[in-house]
Structure formats: structure tokens, C-alpha cells
């Protein structure tokens, strides 16, 4: 295979003319994400730079062109591993979790409770009031009294 493309999802080599991976049908035009690279290196969610470096050296040794002469798939994997290492090393570590949302003020929570109570009482009041019949319903009722042979 001439210069294969590596699928970020299933890590399978594909022919360069393909637009979709032959195994998982993911678009090969999509750029790999951070999670794709961490899965490639076998890193945990809380990885650090020493773990990344050790995993990189292991994979780079396995797929290095000098170790695998003439193997184009190994060459493509080596380039993919290098690209992943550059992306993750530049980042420096996993993205931190977003901060928790700020707590509501007690005044806002109290206003929310009052608003809920008002809406609830309005809906209960509306549920108990009888519904006034429409003009059409009144007309059909009176016509049925006059002409009882209808449907």
C-alpha cells in the first residue's frame, strides 16, 4: 500500500484514495482529537508528560522506519505517532474539568420558589373553572334538540 492514511478511530491503515475508513466508516478527512491520541498512546485520563514520553518512545521504536525497512504501513504509523506526540506535548496535559456553576443567591432561589407557587396556583385555579362552550357547540346542541334524527 502506497503511503496509507491512518484512521483516528480504529487505527487501521487505509489506501490514500479512500475518503472513509474501510473498517469503521469514519471520514478520513476529520482531524484526530485529543482523545484519539490518548487512546493511541494508551494514556489514562489524568496523564502527565512522563507517561506520554514513555508511551511515545515505545510506539516510535515499534514503528520506526529503520526497524521496519520497506514497510509503508509502519512508516505511516510512525508519522501518526509523531503527530500525536506533538499535539499532546504542545498541550502539556489533559484539559482540566470545567469549574462548577456558581451557586444561586438565596434571593434568586426564593424568587424562583414564589414564581413556581404562583404558576402552580394559577394552573390549579384554571383547571377547576368550567370551560365555556363555543358558539358552534351551542348551535349544534340546539339543532339536535330540534332535529333528533341526525347522526
| 77-80 long-range contacts, CB within 8 A, separation 24+ | 77/6, 77/13, 80/6, 80/40
pTM of the complete model: 0.59
Q: What is the pLDDT of residue 151?
A: 56
Q: What is the pLDDT of residue 86?
A: 92
Q: Which residues of the chain have pLDDT under 50?
A: none
Q: What is the pLDDT of residue 99?
A: 81
C-alpha cell belonging to residue 114: 414564589
Q: Does domain 5-91 have CATH number 1.10.287.110?
A: yes
Q: What is the pLDDT of residue 75?
A: 92
Amino acid at each position: 500500500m502506497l503511503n496509507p492514511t491512518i484512521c483516528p478511530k480504529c487505527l487501521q491503515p487505509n489506501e490514500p484514495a479512500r475518503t472513509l475508513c474501510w473498517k469503521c466508516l469514519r471520514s478520513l478527512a476529520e482531524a484526530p482529537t485529543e482523545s484519539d491520541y490518548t487512546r493511541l498512546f494508551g494514556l489514562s485520563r489524568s496523564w502527565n508528560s512522563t507517561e506520554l514520553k514513555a508511551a511515545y518512545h515505545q510506539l516510535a521504536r515499534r514503528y520506526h522506519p529503520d526497524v521496519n525497512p520497506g514497510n509503508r504501513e509502519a512508516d505511516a504509523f510512525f508519522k501518526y505517532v509523531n503527530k500525536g506526540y506533538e499535539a499532546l506535548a504542545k498541550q502539556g496535559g489533559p484539559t482540566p474539568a470545567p469549574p462548577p456553576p456558581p451557586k444561586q443567591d438565596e434571593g434568586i432561589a426564593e424568587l424562583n420558589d414564589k414564581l413556581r407557587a404562583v404558576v402552580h396556583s394559577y394552573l390549579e385555579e384554571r383547571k377547576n373553572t368550567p370551560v365555556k362552550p363555543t358558539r358552534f357547540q351551542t348551535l349544534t346542541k340546539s339543532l339536535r334538540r330540534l332535529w333528533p334524527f341526525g347522526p
